Amino acid sequence: EGEMLLHVGASVSRRHNHGGADGDFESKPLSNLSDDWVESTVTGVEDLMLLGFELGFAWQSLHAQFEFVNWDASAIASTNDVTYNAMYLQVGYFLTGETRPYSGKKGMWSRVKPLKNAFGEEGGWGAWELKARVQMVNGEDEGTGNDMTSIALGANWYLNSATRVMLEYINSSVDVPGGSSEDNNILQVRFQIDF
């Protein structure tokens, strides 16, 4: 009805590779310019089962989303069977009073439209959004692979419905079997025009 929204989704995908094929489980630390920090390759994957679950919530200027995926690979050689999973939780809030639009027909979030465009005839400042995200990737199984936890804080400035500027700070920690870990910090800025 325009003020409150709850979105629930689930997915199941089972894939069979005749003769087996290599399967890759990879993840970046919330930055597309980065290399994959979680990388695991399973050789001779015969069956792959993917399970997914997602939630979306919006109430006035507050919105949140959650997603979980489980990646279960059964290999021809049973010693290569592995299970990986990943999840994230993201929360955002519009300081300028906008709500996060949703398309019921497509079952997904829609384009943000500022109440008043920046630098336009309306004399507005566009839409300002604060956001936070935590992401956990479990790419370790029986002593091989690694885990990664990333925390991001940022702000989005929507000048109009097609233009936005994004600023984000990310702290990402990679844990390797045996107890070693590595912390990394990323500061990224992005300018996007989307028609």
User: For 89-141, what is each residue's pLDDT tens digit?
Assistant: 999 999 999 999 998 899 899 999 999 999 877 778 999 999 999 999 988 77
Name the token pair of 46. Answer: 């015969």
Name the token pair of 32. Answer: 């597309």
Q: Tens of pLDDT along 22-67?
A: 777 788 888 888 888 787 777 777 788 899 999 999 999 999 999 9
For the four alpha carbons of 27, 85, 103 and 120, in that order, the dihedral sign comes to negative
Confidence category of residue 83, pLDDT binned at 50, 70, 90: confident
Hey, what amino acid is at 120? G
Average of per-residue pLDDT across 177-181: 69
Average of per-residue pLDDT across 157-183: 88
Name the token pair of 109. Answer: 């979030």
Instruction: Check pLDDT > 80 for residue 143.
Output: no
Average of per-residue pLDDT across 172-186: 80
Give the pLDDT confidence score for residue 78 in this predicted structure: 56
The Cα 54–Cα 62 span in angstroms is: 17
pTM of the model: 0.85
The Cα 161–Cα 60 span in angstroms is: 18
